[in-house]
Structure 1
């Protein structure tokens, strides 16, 4: 029999005045970590598929016979699809449950990945390659909201209150792990055009693995016995939850600021190579920078998640991380304008990732706290949708703000741009103005967050209330 740690025991009697279960048996089950593993692997696979072309933008443009916007749309389709599909995903996760959402996400992700392989097959008409690969990217993009919205739901339904942030961190920060792997693998493996098929097959392997694990291993949406008082309660219906959220000022401030931060990280992940290439940095170094940003983020998120699980200082940690992330981005903007600054660039992007990504799981937990008893996927969903919308805007605007390089510097023999005047090549541009604009925008977000956001710990207060009532009930029985 699966072992469980018992947190309290009773006779499952409800307190009609509060709606909570005053005396109930709360348990956590070992299988919860398998569920975290499945969601984490799905996040890794889906994120790697999303960003796999960005570190090899110039070679992708040549292989698929498209220009810069054609390559950027392989990433942008994720952001565009997340808006309508994100709204559907919040309803699906909260209404149909975790199992249905995870299964649908894994299969969409796998089918999309297989289509990417099809786009590289020998003998395929060149004009058909790009439509097939963008279709594959689109199916994986539809899966993304199902992938990214589940960690908070999983943590809330399966984990005790002193493990929720840790579980959320493990499941959600797997997404940047996928970005890290793609930033390393894509430039390392794609040496010639003929390598594109092998690269797409490698990205398909984890998609197939997680599909098998989810299909045969994820057997239920909720545990037999809830782990906490909040998990024992039914979440509000989707529409009712939306109406309640309208009046929650602190949540919408968090939604705006978190979305801005997520949008900026998405933009940098998409444009790293195009930002650094004109300063004569290779695509391999651009991929390394993306990997360092994610690696720093994983460490930062792990430390922050463990800390807030013990202290519950979500707001304080989030504000400090935002301020330091802004300073790191400003430093990156300055050193990325210069040549021969590999070490400084690597350090600044690592620091930006360390502080910036630590905000991700903390903010998702803050969203649940601010909106409780609204369903977890609903609060997390709108936070991520905000980031996707702002990411679309930032990528498009940064592309428009980029300026032409001086004559003679448009084609650099640095490994990421070929000496060619083909219309299908991406023309390098100067991203100084876009980067400065992004830094200024980050400072604006920090000021708004520091001045106007005040956390409202609704879920923690509800759980503390029921625990106090349990103690009172137990004491009265023993008098």
Structure 2
């Protein structure tokens, strides 16, 4: 662990003598990280809800528009390992600041084709900006678990992780709502670009001005005092040999891939059967809103009960059922109410377990650093997401345009029946694998139980107990 509390060999002992302490400025760090994650997610999916209009304005194909989102998955695979090392070695503060500047620079670069007249190859600028934002995503996506472990006491970790992680789907929600609302015609694309620059710039300013240190002077828990006690390479070796972690990483990484593909391709799947961009945006919004509500409820629940494994397994099973329902109903016309309900349930059961799964990854791998434990799950998820999206789009065959299609990209609409069924099948396979084979002890909680009372259990007398002779 980087910083005052982690550079000295006697830091854990000193922390125990002082008593664990939670600092109020942890909420400022969480606010900055949440805003940064939210901004990055809006930049990721800002094009997807209005893919047909973007394609027509910049003279791009549907495949090129899909690559503006897919590049997030591709770039983060090799750079994700660097991000893991940065979090556990360079420190949370500098990693967050670098992430904020990459995100802001990317938002500016991708806006140039719509703001500067005469650019010959707009796709190069769009892809360049998205690539910088993709680098930023690799840094920010694993940070909430690290922040929660280093700055928050045991009884607030799951909720802090939930707030930080759910900022990402909140950004996806904003993109699904704002993009269709802002882009009614091609001339509105410039306005959309400028709107998305504002939160990126604000996050960059706050990260540079308000983050002073990577770790608190005194740790909030025994787990924080011993965080990242393994070196980077040794930690990776331990992760590779941890059967429970490998199963969780493969299954949850597959879930990340499925949900990433769902978010990117939702508008294209629905427009074929006569649903408007606005309705696709509404479905994406419901997907995120109910995911956030479910995550907040589960965060409170697991902070009290510590039932990480049970929550994740039940959430996976229910998500698979809803995925099957989406695969069937999305191919029918006039099912707006059913599709809205299905997207709501898909978010409520699927998105909501993400923060709990990340906490579970840290629990089953302690004392490996949180950056490595969570980061590798996301790297694997991005790799699976890229493969899943390429596979789904390759299986979507063109058909004669029916009269009820609302797709406006000037090409024949695609038949998404087989890709939707494949997505449901993959979700079911991952759920069965997780339920049947995943079992793990909670190593971090066990270590904290052996170390002594946590911060929420300590009374003033307990705080003074180690130094009782010095107390008045």
> TM over 0.5: same fold?
yes
Per-residue deviation at 1:234?
Answer: 4.7
Query: Aligned Cα RMSD in Å?
Result: 2.2
Please give the per-residue CA displacement for 1:188-210, whole angstroms capped at 9, x wherever unaligned.
11111111111000000000111
Tell me the distance in 1 between the aligned counterparts of 2:453 and 2:311. Answer: 27
Alignment of 1:295-314 (within 5 A): 295-314=289-308
Please give the per-residue CA displacement for 1:250-284, whole angstroms capped at 9, x wherever unaligned.
00100001001111100000000111111000111
Equivalent in the alignment of 1:427 = 412
Work out whether 1:447 is the aligned partner of 2:432.
Answer: yes
Work out whether 1:51 is the aligned partner of 2:45.
Answer: yes
Equivalent in the alignment of 1:155 = 148
Work out whether 1:437 is the aligned partner of 2:422.
Answer: yes
The equivalent position to 1:325 in structure 2, one of 319, 322, 347, is 319
Equivalent in the alignment of 1:99 = 93
Q: TM-score, normalised by structure 2?
A: 0.92
Runs of 4 or more, structure 1, over 4 Å off, are 12-15, 18-22, 468-471
Q: TM-score, normalised by structure 1?
A: 0.91
Work out whether 1:204 is the aligned partner of 2:189.
Answer: no
The equivalent position to 2:183 in structure 1, one of 187, 190, 210, is 190
Shift of the 413–373 alpha-carbon distance from structure 1 to 2, 3 Å rule, reads closer
Tell me the distance in 2 between the aligned counterparts of 1:446 and 1:19. Answer: 42
Shift of the 333–372 alpha-carbon distance from structure 1 to 2, 3 Å rule, reads same
Shift of the 441–13 alpha-carbon distance from structure 1 to 2, 3 Å rule, reads closer
Shift of the 222–252 alpha-carbon distance from structure 1 to 2, 3 Å rule, reads same
Contact persistence 1:54–1:71 (CA under 8 A): yes
Shift of the 316–229 alpha-carbon distance from structure 1 to 2, 3 Å rule, reads same
Tell me the distance in 1 between the aligned counterparts of 2:262 and 2:427. Answer: 13
Contact persistence 1:39–1:102 (CA under 8 A): yes
Contact persistence 1:89–1:145 (CA under 8 A): yes
Work out whether 1:282 is the aligned partner of 2:290.
Answer: no
Contact persistence 2:177–2:282 (CA under 8 A): yes
Work out whether 1:461 is the aligned partner of 2:455.
Answer: no
Alignment of 1:75-154 (within 5 A): 75-125=69-119, 127-154=120-147
Per-residue deviation at 1:360?
Answer: 0.7
Tell me the distance in 2 between the aligned counterparts of 1:174 and 1:67. Answer: 31
Alignment of 1:167-182 (within 5 A): 167-182=160-175
Give the length in aligned residue pairs.
454
Per-residue deviation at 1:408?
Answer: 4.3
Moved more, 19-28 or 252-261: 19-28
Per-residue deviation at 1:403?
Answer: 2.4
Alignment of 1:259-274 (within 5 A): 259-274=253-268
Contact persistence 1:165–1:309 (CA under 8 A): yes
SS of 2:272's equivalent in the other structure is helix
Please give the per-residue CA displacement for 1:148-199, whole angstroms capped at 9, x wherever unaligned.
1100110000000010000000011100000000001111111111111110
Equivalent in the alignment of 1:240 = 234
Contact persistence 2:235–2:369 (CA under 8 A): yes
Please give the per-residue CA displacement for 1:329-371, whole angstroms capped at 9, x wherever unaligned.
1111111111000000000011000010111101110110111
Contact persistence 1:14–1:22 (CA under 8 A): no
